[in-house]
Amino acid sequence: MICEILSTLPKADYLCRMAIKRNIREFSLPELKKYFESIGDKKFRAIQAYEWLWKKNARSFEDMSNLSLELRKKLAEEFDLPALTVDASQHSNDGTLKSRFKTYDGHLIEGVLIPTEKRFTACVSSQIGCSLSCKFCATGLMDRKRNLTFDEIYDQVALLNEQSERVYGQKLSNIVYMGMGEPLLNYKNVLKSIDKITASDSMGMSPKRITVSTAGVAKMIKQLGDDKVRFNLALSLHAATDAKRNEIMPINETNSIEFLIESLNYFYQQTKNDITLEYVLLKDQNDSLKDAEELVAVYRQVPTHLVNVIEYNPVAGIPFIKSGEDSTQIFTDYLASHKVNVRVRRSRGKDIDAACGQLANKDTVTA
């Protein structure tokens, strides 16, 4: 009856399937053990299936080769496994690898593998599109379709790790939630994905090697503190006064710099985790010595260990221009002279629109 009702809707086959089946990755190991016992199988089969899901990153039940064909067929009949797939990828001249992933319901998102001499970093998305409309960001031009589920976020990391091992012979060393979307507006799924990424029975990544970046949702920054998270936090500040920040980041109208300073201090008091301030330099917008002076004033009120000054990356249809090398040097020299721990973060993957602020599912991505 349910399938008959759903048959008139778009994606009817999938909707019918989901009305009957549950995503097997929503089950804990104890729950899977109970299920296998209920069908008259042994508990260790649950452990085998769980390893396929979270250590071996099975994309389908057919991949679970140490389970019998009959059992795999039964699992496929009773559960769903809506794994991400790599739709296309691009290699940058500097070694950066951008991948476009397809979700079970046909949406596209992007993730980036950033290799350096010392690090292999995965930059992952948390939403399909974004609702914040930051004026300098390509993703901000897109509508938010939906939040990504925790396993979709996990899949990005797993697939980028596979690419890193295949292309560079190295596992991921770091993960940054700096792709499409605002992570703190998908709070539960982001935290659950990190729980899975850091779990010893899955990827086992240290939380100290994970950074979640936010445009500044003060209430949820405090919630991170209450939840005693163990990962690091980055605030996309980009302007040090409310007047300027309101112009380029509408979220500031309800999350003022005063509130953000308060929430960051609370987060640090509760967790003692690293906080980074991100500041993209925009020519004649936020790159004057006065802007640098105002940034120093904010820096001194926040227990931050670093200011990342970021080179702006051009986006079609957006009028901002990156600051020149001279302006960048003057700006960062001023910060350093006032005892600010500052680093200039050079963009990677600009030639394939994989750099900071450029992720937007452009059709130029090729397989």
- Annotated catalytic residues are 110, 356
Per-state percent for the chain, helix, strand, coil, to nearest 5: 40, 20, 40
d(CA 304, CA 290): 21
Give me the phi and psi of 342, to 5 degrees please.
-120, 145
Rounded Cα–Cα distance for residues 27 and 24 (Å): 6
Distance in Å from the first CA to the final CA of the chain: 41
Could you tell me which residues are beta bridge partners of residue 234?
A: 213, 276
Instruction: Name the residue among 316, 304, 327, 3 with its Cα closest to residue 137.
Output: 316
CB 150 within 8 A of CB 186: no
Q: Do residues 350 and 313 touch, judged by C-beta distance below 8 A? A: yes
Backbone region of residue 188 per phi and psi (left: phi > 0; alpha: psi in -120 to 50; beta: other values): alpha
- Residue 55: CB atoms within 10 A of its CB come to 14
**Residues 328/329/333/335 CA torsion (nearest 10 deg):** 10
SS3 114: strand
Spatial neighbors of 312 by CB under 8 A, at least 6 apart, are: 136, 280, 281, 282, 283, 320, 321, 322, 323, 357
Question: 3-class DSSP state for residue 226?
Answer: helix
CA distances to 107, 119, 296 from 307, rounded to whole Å, are 34, 19, 10
Q: What is the DSSP string of 314-359?
A: --TT----BPPHHHHHHHHHHHHHTT--EEEE----GGGT-STT--
Task: Report the alpha-carbon distance of residue 149 to residue 203 in Å, rounded.
Answer: 17
